[in-house]
């Protein structure tokens, strides 16, 4: 078929001007119209369409509804469509037909302007004689889904029923998708189970919906039903089911799906092969992943990244690095994969080393994704100097500060303990999306500024930014650190009813934490018992932490047993329970647990504290001698302890984790705690008024907490200590947590 290039002017058919006074013209006009309309399909740019538009107005062809709708469809949905221009063309059509209305609704819906799409729908219903039909609803409902506007979705559903379109399979499928997007899973299931006609898309919408909404086991259940009803699964079904297996993770089911694909003869595209690979990797089966990988003829960046990440998850960093080194193209995407593989698997120090390596070569330059991952590694390890350097780098290189980067900067400064700098970044930007707001709310929460975090939540609402699941996690966390139980309950209750966000495990865990920390342990247990989803490890972990604060041995045992059932390799749970036994003097319990850990080969995660001095991160393990300056550090520690003792300080011996009989030994092992070493290193290598910033991987013990308070007073140094749960700002002998953590 002939096509035009932008350089050639159009030669349109010459024809007599169509006169409105004589609407029933002979067929020769139709021949001309037909020719003109056939040009529409062959246009290659918007200029040509505009020429045809002008020509059609001149000849009057535009005022014939069918022809106008044909031109309009091309302007609105064609490959070089322009929405603004399309809107102008639409407004020129005197009596748009249903097709034109549907086209405009569809155009806005496909260009992610759901609000406009819905408002055109309203115009159609109120201003035109056209009734919405089975072609209108799927797009209008898609708009409601994209905007997650549940009330509108429900209103459309009502209209669908009134128009007797509920059994149209396209309409029903769009309703299912919409209810999932808005988080109303019950309604999605209702539409699915009551619709008389189901096709493979209906099943796929349900399966994908459940995977995305965190119920992968439901997705697998549906897949089994689908098989029982002899519905032929498609490529999309398989990708959905595999990602369900990856999320659970359920290797057995995953393998069954792989054989199903083979038996059913479903052609394995790159996307499907990547989904299979991802399932193996997430289930920790790198042998099968490697076998599949070696047979794959086509590989893309997702393929390589999946392998890399799979090895990193198993902490096989040699293999991960080997994947990186074998990548055919080491563009920035490859570097990003390596940095995030380390960063997301608890190896921030290695992630930063890769970032330094990247800077030393010339083939790839860091982009926004690189900087976001690197900032996240800085946040984990407390490398604020590097974080600041990245902020300067962004400005100097003129890298566009997108929402991800802004959120990452706020998060980095908050997690490194400099809330002021986090605030400065937040205030320096004019536009903020939900992640930027959530990041700042999270920062305030972790520093114990609960009130301010909640105020910010309402400011965000005033600016019409819709909160998401992350926002609520941070708001609930703010309530928890500040002991605001009633507020937390209110927020939790509103999540689904007012914002359409279905609470997930992390939200339940936050609520258990709020209730538990404030001493409502029984209520926390009742709360867990009434959860609509089975409680996971983080929920029991929250209860266990609270039991420790309030020394509730019987509930701690319950929580710990459940936790260990779910995570048999959870060293933290074993240690926490052994601490609780130790605190109440139940040494039999302690020794039994220790024996169990020895037999099962479970090791307690060693305490580790890091401190950044002049851009270099120094790590100290408990009782560590590996640091080149450790001799000087221990010397300083002795001096500090002597000075503290001269003012009446006494070590809190009940904090000792090991069972050491002699009192003196107890004191010595307390002295070896990594945070004390890091603080002493800070005293030697930095000067006031620079605060000493220490990051600890475990929860800070009571003795180190008292010591840090005293050092802040006697040495007049500000100490910012981040432990696993929160921040402690020590200033002039006081801590920001008010000794509640």
Residues binding Zn ion (CB under 5 A): 673, 701, 704, 728, 735, 737
Residue 653 or 690 with smaller CB distance to Zn ion? 653
Q: For the CB of residue 419, give the shortest distance to Zn ion in the complex, in Å.
A: 15
Q: For the CB of residue 697, give the shortest distance to Zn ion in the complex, in Å.
A: 12
Distance CA 634, CA 684 (A): 11
Q: For the CB of residue 154, give the shortest distance to Zn ion in the complex, in Å.
A: 48
Q: For the CB of residue 741, give the shortest distance to Zn ion in the complex, in Å.
A: 5
Residue 341 or 735 with smaller CB distance to Zn ion? 735
Q: For the CB of residue 625, give the shortest distance to Zn ion in the complex, in Å.
A: 18
Q: For the CB of residue 414, give the shortest distance to Zn ion in the complex, in Å.
A: 17
- Phi, psi of 688, deg, nearest 5: -65, 150
Looking at residue 621, the DSSP 8-state letter turns out to be E
Residue 290 or 447 with smaller CB distance to Zn ion? 447
Residue 495 or 622 with smaller CB distance to Zn ion? 622
Q: For the CB of residue 704, give the shortest distance to Zn ion in the complex, in Å.
A: 3
Distance CA 337, CA 318 (A): 15
Residue 636 or 728 with smaller CB distance to Zn ion? 728
DSSP bridge pairs for 621: 608
Q: For the CB of residue 721, give the shortest distance to Zn ion in the complex, in Å.
A: 7
Residue 288 or 723 with smaller CB distance to Zn ion? 723
Residue 70 or 728 with smaller CB distance to Zn ion? 728
Long-range Cβ contact pairs of 158-167 (< 8 A, separation 24 or more): 159/132, 163/131, 163/132, 163/133, 163/137, 165/133, 165/134, 165/137, 166/194, 166/195, 167/195, 167/196, 167/197
537-549 and 505-517 are packed helices; what angle lies between their axes, rounded to 10 degrees? Answer: 10
Per DSSP, the three-state class of 110 is helix
- Phi, psi of 729, deg, nearest 5: -100, 110
Q: For the CB of residue 571, give the shortest distance to Zn ion in the complex, in Å.
A: 18
Distance CA 57, CA 529 (A): 70
Q: For the CB of residue 724, give the shortest distance to Zn ion in the complex, in Å.
A: 13
Residue 397 or 653 with smaller CB distance to Zn ion? 653
What is the distance in angstroms between the CA of the first residue and the CA of the last residue of the chain?
Answer: 73
- 68-100 exposure pattern, b = at least 16 Cβ within 10 A, e = fewer: bbbbbbbbbebeebbbeebbebbeebeebbbbb
Do the Cβ atoms of 372 and 339 come closer than 8 Å?
Answer: no
Half-sphere exposure of 207 (CA within 13 A, CB side): 27
Residue 18 or 735 with smaller CB distance to Zn ion? 735
Sign of CA dihedral 63, 66, 69, 75: negative
User: Beta 616-621 vs 727-731: how paired, if at all?
Assistant: unpaired
Residue 77 or 549 with smaller CB distance to Zn ion? 549
The phi-psi region of residue 60 (left if phi > 0; otherwise alpha if psi is between -120 and 50; otherwise beta) is left
SS (H, E, C) 257-297: HHHHHHHCCCCCCHHHHHHHHHHHHHCCCHHHHHHHHHHCC
Do the Cβ atoms of 172 and 142 come closer than 8 Å?
Answer: no
Residue 32 or 728 with smaller CB distance to Zn ion? 728
> Nearest-CA neighbor of 95 among 127, 119, 126?
127
């Amino acid at each position: 078929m002939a096509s035009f290039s932008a350089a050639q002017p159009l030669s349109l058919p010459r024809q007599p001007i169509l006169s409105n006074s004589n609407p029933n013209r002979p067929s020769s006009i139709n021949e001309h119209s037909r020719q003109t309309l056939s040009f529409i399909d062959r246009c290659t740019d918007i200029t040509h369409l505009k020429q045809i538009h002008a020509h059609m107005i001149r000849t009057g062809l535009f005022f014939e509804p069918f022809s106008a709708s044909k031109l309009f469809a091309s302007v609105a949905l064609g490959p070089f469509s322009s929405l603004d221009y399309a809107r102008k063309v639409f407004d020129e059509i005197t009596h748009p037909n249903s097709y034109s209305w549907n086209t405009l609704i569809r155009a806005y819906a496909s260009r992610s302007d759901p609000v406009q799409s819905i408002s055109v729908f309203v115009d159609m219903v109120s201003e035109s004689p056209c009734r919405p039909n089975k072609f209108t609803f799927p797009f209008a409902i898609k708009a409601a889904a994209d905007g997650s506007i549940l009330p509108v979705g429900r209103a459309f559903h009502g209209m669908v029923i009134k128009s007797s379109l509920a059994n149209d399979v396209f309409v029903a499928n769009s309703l299912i998708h919409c209810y999932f997007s808005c988080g109303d899973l019950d309604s999605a299931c209702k539409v699915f189970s009551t619709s008389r006609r189901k096709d493979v898309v209906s099943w796929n919408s349900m399966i994908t919906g459940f995977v995305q909404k965190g119920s992968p086991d439901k997705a697998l259940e549906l897949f089994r039903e689908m098989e029982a009803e002899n519905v032929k699964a498609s490529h999309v079904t398989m990708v959905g089911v595999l990602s369900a297996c990856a999320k659970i993770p359920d290797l057995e089911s995953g393998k069954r799906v792989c054989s199903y694909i083979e038996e059913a003869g479903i052609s394995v595209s790159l996307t499907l092969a990547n989904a299979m690979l991802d399932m193996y990797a997430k289930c920790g089966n790198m042998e099968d992943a490697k076998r599949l990988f070696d047979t794959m003829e086509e590989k893309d960046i997702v393929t390589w990244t999946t392998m890399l990440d799979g090895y990193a998850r198993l902490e096989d960093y040699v293999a991960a690095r080997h994947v990186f080194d074998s990548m055919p193209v080491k563009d920035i995407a490859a570097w990003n994969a390596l940095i995030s593989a380390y960063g997301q698997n608890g190896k921030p120090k290695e992630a930063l080393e890769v970032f330094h390596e990247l800077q030393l070569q010339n083939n790839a330059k860091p982009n926004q994704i690189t900087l976001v991952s690197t900032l996240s590694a800085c946040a984990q390890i407390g490398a604020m100097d590097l974080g600041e350097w990245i902020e300067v780098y962004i400005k100097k290189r003129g890298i566009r500060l997108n929402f991800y980067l802004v959120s990452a900067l706020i998060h980095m400064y908050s997690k490194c303990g400099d809330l002021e700098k986090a605030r400065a970044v937040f205030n320096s930007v004019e536009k903020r999306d939900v992640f930027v707001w959530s990041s700042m709310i999270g920062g305030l929460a972790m520093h114990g500024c609960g009130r301010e975090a909640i105020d910010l939540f309402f400011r965000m609402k005033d600016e019409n930014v819709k909160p998401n699941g992350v926002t609520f996690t941070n708001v609930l966390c703010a309530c928890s650190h500040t002991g605001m139980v009633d507020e937390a309950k209110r927020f939790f209750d509103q999540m689904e009813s007012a914002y359409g966000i279905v609470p997930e495990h992390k939200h339940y865990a936050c609520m258990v934490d709020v209730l538990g920390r404030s001493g409502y342990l029984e209520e926390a247990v009742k709360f867990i018992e009434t959860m609509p989803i089975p409680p996971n490890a983080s929920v029991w972990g929250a209860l266990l932490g609270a039991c420790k604060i309030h020394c509730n041995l019987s509930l701690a045992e319950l929580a710990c047993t459940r936790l260990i059932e779910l995570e048999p390799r959870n060293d933290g749970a074993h240690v926490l329970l052994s601490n609780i036994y130790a605190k109440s003097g139940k040494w039999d319990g302690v020794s039994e647990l220790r024996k169990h850990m020895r037999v099962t080969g479970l090791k307690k995660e060693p305490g580790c504290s890091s401190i950044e001095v002049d851009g270099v991160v120094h790590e100290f393990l408990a009782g560590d001698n590996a640091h080149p300056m450790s001799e000087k550090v221990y010397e300083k520690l002795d001096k500090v302890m002597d000075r503290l003792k001269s003012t009446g300080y006494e070590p809190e011996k009940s904090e000792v984790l090991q069972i050491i009989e002699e009192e003196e030994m107890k004191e010595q092992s307390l002295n070896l705690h990594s945070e004390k070493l890091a603080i002493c290193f800070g005293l030697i290598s930095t000067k006031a008024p620079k605060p000493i910033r220490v990051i600890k991987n475990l929860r800070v013990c009571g003795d180190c907490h008292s010591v840090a308070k005293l050092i802040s007073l006697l040495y007049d140094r500000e100490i910012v200590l981040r432990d696993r749960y929160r921040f402690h700002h020590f200033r002039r002998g006081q801590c920001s947590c008010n000794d509640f953590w």
